[in-house]
Amino acid sequence: MVTGGAGFIGSNFIHYWLKNHPGDFIVNLDKLTYAGNPDNLKDIENNPNYSFIKGDICDPQIVKKAMKNVDIIVHFAAESHVDRSIIDPSIFVKTNVLGTQVLLNEAIRAKVRRFHHISTDEVFGALDLDDPQRFTENTAYSPRSPYSASKAAADHLVRAYYITYKLPVTITNCADNFGPFQYPEKLISLSITNILEGKKVPIYGDGLYVRDWLYVEDHCRAIDLVIAKGKVGETYLIGADSDMANIDLVKRLLVIMGKDEKMIEYVKDRPGHDRRYAIDSTKIKNELGWKPVFDLEKALGETVAWYKNNNSWWQKLKNKSYMDYYNKQYKSN
């Protein structure tokens, strides 16, 4: 069972899994919030090895039904956009914390052989720009936004169910993902679609916020390895060693797309903006043999090409509710 499989990473994971494990059956449980899009899975909706259930992970009855005959759970479902968590933290606490607890409870009843939880590097807090350190599996948690706090709480619950109830769990904390099917509110998908529309790209503050950029297919491969070879009860960090400041990333996209820097628009910074994230992926590389296949330049080029070739997919997402949010978030600055 994949939770949140109609979202960005979840839908990429389902495509990846059906391609690489064609004998497996996938149940996709998704509430279809604004970021859950059935179009992400249109080409496999008639696949006999795929089933979709619309439902909320906070609803024990729906979760129990979806989990019938399931032996592995890959838990993506989460509210994930920091900006939105600042506007309304309550839905993040409900989905990310309570929803995870409901899933864990039902997983015990179903006697699953693996509960794999998808988390984020944001639970570790922020690093200074001149700090040589990187996050490791032993870094203390220090979340600084409602989103990262809710994910940290979910991580702690997953580990508690492993210790207390012996539920066989694994956790991965990943860097910022990008690639096809990403809702156009995150930096790369927003930048590409704005540029294609001839609109400026909003950059928070001075733009010197550093992230590690992980192509979504590399992330899917890492999850596959952790499920197959990862040690129960362990956590693995997944990064791409592609650290780059937001402003430099956008400038690179502009070069790829043949545009100049006049397309950049600096806007007022968001509250509590973490300066830098950086992941040390030594553990998953050494223990499981994973490494990213895509270099950043190649992956950005493929991502730009995907959005160019799938105008109808993202244009319909930029509807009135999207624009209301966009204008509130950026134009009011």
Annotated catalytic sites, by residue?
A: 121-122, 147
β-bridge mates for residue 214, sequence order: 177
Reduced to 3 states, what is the DSSP secondary structure of residue 146? helix
- Burial of 253 (C-beta count, 10 Å sphere; 0-12/13-18/19+): buried
Nearest to 195 by CA among 128, 135, 155, 249: 249
For 272, left (φ over 0), alpha (ψ -120 to 50), or beta? left
The single-letter code of the amino acid at 20 is N
Residue pair 30/3 in contact by the 8 Å Cβ criterion: yes
The phi, psi pair for 63, rounded to 5°, reads -60, -45
Q: Rounded to an integer, what distance in angstroms lies between the CA atom of residue 136 and that of residue 186?
A: 25
Q: Rounded to an integer, what distance in angstroms lies between the CA atom of residue 9 and that of residue 28?
A: 13
Nearest to 118 by CA among 24, 220, 188, 25: 220
Residues 6+ apart with CB under 8 A from 230: 170, 236, 288
For the four alpha carbons of 35, 38, 44 and 48, in that order, the dihedral sign comes to positive
Q: Looking only at Cα atoms, what is the longest distance across the chain?
A: 57
Residue pair 256/210 in contact by the 8 Å Cβ criterion: no
For 166, left (φ over 0), alpha (ψ -120 to 50), or beta? left
The single-letter code of the amino acid at 311 is N
DSSP string, 204-251: ETTS--EEEEEEHHHHHHHHHHHHHHPPTT-EEEE--S-EEEHHHHHH
